[in-house]
Amino acid sequence: METVKSIGIDAGSTTLKIVGVNEKGKILFSIVEDADPKVEEQTERVLNKLKENYDIESSKIVATGYGSNLIKADKKVTEITCHAKGIYEYFKTGGTAVDIGGQDNKVILISKNGKVIDFIMNDKCASGTGRFLENTAWRLKIPTEKMAELALNSDGEVKISSTCAVFAESEVISHLSRGQKLEHVIKGLHRAMVKRITSMIYAVGFNPPLMLSGGVAKNKAVVKMLEEELGEKPMIPENPQIMGAFGAALIGLSQ
Amino acid sequence: MDVKDKIKYIFSYKIAGKLLIELNTKKAFKNFKPPKNWRTDILAPPLRTGVYTKEIIAKHYLEGRYVSGVKPVAWVTSGAPIEILKALGFYILYPENHGALCGARKVALEISEEAEKKGYSIDICSYARTDIGATLSKKTPVGKLPKPDLLLCCTNICQTVLYWYRVLAEYYKVPLIVIDTPFVYDEAKKHDIEYVKKQLEASIEVSEKVAGKSLSFSKLKEVVRLSKMAAELWLEIMNANKNKPAPISVFDQFIHMAPIVEKRGDPETVDFYSKMLDEIRERIKNGIGAVKNERKRVLWDNLPIWYKIRFLSEFLAENGVSVVASTYTNAWGELAPMMDIERPIESMAKTYVYPILNRGTGHKLKTMETMVKEFDLDGAILHSDRSCKPYSVGQMDQRLKLLNELGVAALLLEADHNDPRAFADEQIKSRLKAFMEMMD
């Protein structure tokens, strides 16, 4: 049974991410689940299940995310520090890390030696976050993962002017009722989201390379459009969703 | 003057009320101890002289309950040139301060909803909504507000006050004096000062008519002298925070600034700040910091978040972060040197043209940069106040400049000074925490 030196738990608003690393910081396992309302019970259940295959008795636990208050951990750190750590260790370079999560977007400037120089998060508004696409997908009864495909294959684009996740929904419906093609509208929706993220990136000052994390980084249309808007090909980890939890686990190693 | 009003005023305020308040203060001062739930593990006890802040404010609002018909009453904006009114014997009420008090007592939302029910938009400044709500519903935590006989509105803090005071003038059917202060981009021109001076001179006649007496020039000089003295003491109190550890946090300053705003020009205010300065010097001598284990020193830009002062103070202090300087509390001290007792009207014209909110964004940036150097700061929290656009404009660039040119961590914090609906608890916590981690 392999010994897990440190476990990082990222209890986000939409998903729960758990990553275990060995003493060298190598990822031993990673788990991503939809977040339960009772995240502390969910975490305990996942950790108990892990005990079947791993030795986690002496593992350090570092928690981050909105649900981290409820989780028993050796240390609690913000998502900013965890994402910066995870991304920096993964790519071994400073630059601009962009995490597009379910409810929060973060743009983090990382120095050459891995220190957070500056960060910005969306304010009390979920425009441009994962929820923006999820809401519309749900309203249109399209699986979220199909949204990107529709946008990528679209031969046209409708301008969506509202960046409000709630108002965009009614704008989408009104475009459709006026006979606009579904894929054109969905592509426009992606564009609105990407423009919002781009403006956040410029607000802290873009410093290449661009490194993406968070669930939305798996959306190929978002990635392509970010490249179009910024003129820079984003670097994406194999599993972008777990970068915060990975960073948390790495922080645990130095505890 | 109504004789019945006068008797009531003398008995309820001058004799019984004042006596009771003073007795309470004496008792509180003698048996001074921090409130039960005070976090003595992370914070120094509150200032003992703070009991006088309570006394001054309690007396002020108690007088307000009985003053109608006895003294002329004026409602004024926070940056208004009140010295003339003071010299004419007006009782002066600051709706913004009353709004802040409602915010700190957590009743501002309920009161501003009274204005919203009558159709005032939630996009209007939350002070204006609280005041208009209190006017329409008569709801207030201080018992009763006296009706104004005169309104004095000075545009040196924002343009909202212009419309807000027109609403009040319409409602109360009383004269409204507007002092229009030209915006200062760099330096005020001679004709700008002249323009304000002429308006001040013209306001005297209206104020005299309402007060029913003539302005005594020597009285005006005395008020200006006391105003200047209090402001200088206040400045000295704030500058004491250049010491490490800082003896009085900005969150304490938010509370103890009430007299410099509401009661400047009174001799009691001078005595009060003088006592407070003694206590602060004592703290410096004994090495007492407002935050125990002061590790990081930061500045606060913009208005306080009145309904979250305690929370923010403790949340930051838990991590050894002390807020030691602020552009906001500084605004009531920085202009003191401009006051000239020998030329009261002219110097008032100059003083009231120069508040931070009537100057370009570059000036605020310079003020913050100076603070970073003089107070040896590690970071800056810029409260982006939904209700105060003139204060918040430019903060995006100011934040970047502080970060890039001075190398201090800087955070933009989205909230509202009086409307708790614009405060997202978890979001604010996570941003503040990340800001603190960044400073480490």
Closest by CA to B423, choosing from B389, B390, B385, B393, is: B385
pLDDT, tens digit, for every residue of A148-175? 999 999 999 999 887 777 788 888 889 9
Q: Confirm whether A190 is domain-assigned.
A: no
| Span B130-139, average pLDDT | 98
Lowest mean pLDDT among A27-31, A119-123, B96-100, B404-408: A119-123
> Which of A66, A77, A119 lies closest to B426 in CB terms?
A66
Residue B382: pLDDT band by 50, 70, 90 thresholds?
Answer: very high
> Which of A116, A119, A205 lies closest to B400 in CB terms?
A205
Contact at CB, A118 and B434, closer than 8 angstroms: no
Q: Confirm whether A45 is domain-assigned.
A: yes
Q: What is the pLDDT of residue A125?
A: 76
Q: What is the pLDDT of residue A122?
A: 81
Q: Confirm whether A57 is domain-assigned.
A: yes
Residue A14: pLDDT band by 50, 70, 90 thresholds?
Answer: confident
Residues in chain A within 8 Å Cβ distance of B318: none
Contact at CB, A124 and B422, closer than 8 angstroms: yes
Q: What is the pLDDT of residue B1?
A: 64
Q: What does the block give as tokens for A142?
A: 């399209």
Question: B184 in helix, strand or coil?
Answer: strand
Domain count, chain B: 1
Contact at CB, A124 and B433, closer than 8 angstroms: no
The residues of A whose Cβ lies within 8 A of any Cβ of B are 66, 77-81, 104, 116-121, 123-124, 203-205
**Above 80 in pLDDT, residue B304?**
yes
Domain count, chain A: 1
Q: What is the pLDDT of residue A203?
A: 87
* Residue A30: domain span: 2-84+242-253
pLDDT, tens digit, for every residue of A201-228? 998 889 999 999 988 899 999 999 999 9
Q: What is the pLDDT of residue B313?
A: 98
| Span B50-70, average pLDDT | 97
CATH code of A21's domain:
3.30.420.40
pLDDT, tens digit, for every residue of A65-97? 988 988 999 999 999 999 999 999 999 999 999
Round the average pLDDT of chain B to a whole number and report it: 96
Q: Confirm whether A15 is domain-assigned.
A: yes
> Which of B396, B427, B437 lies closest to A80 in CB terms?
B437
* Residue B316: domain span: 3-439
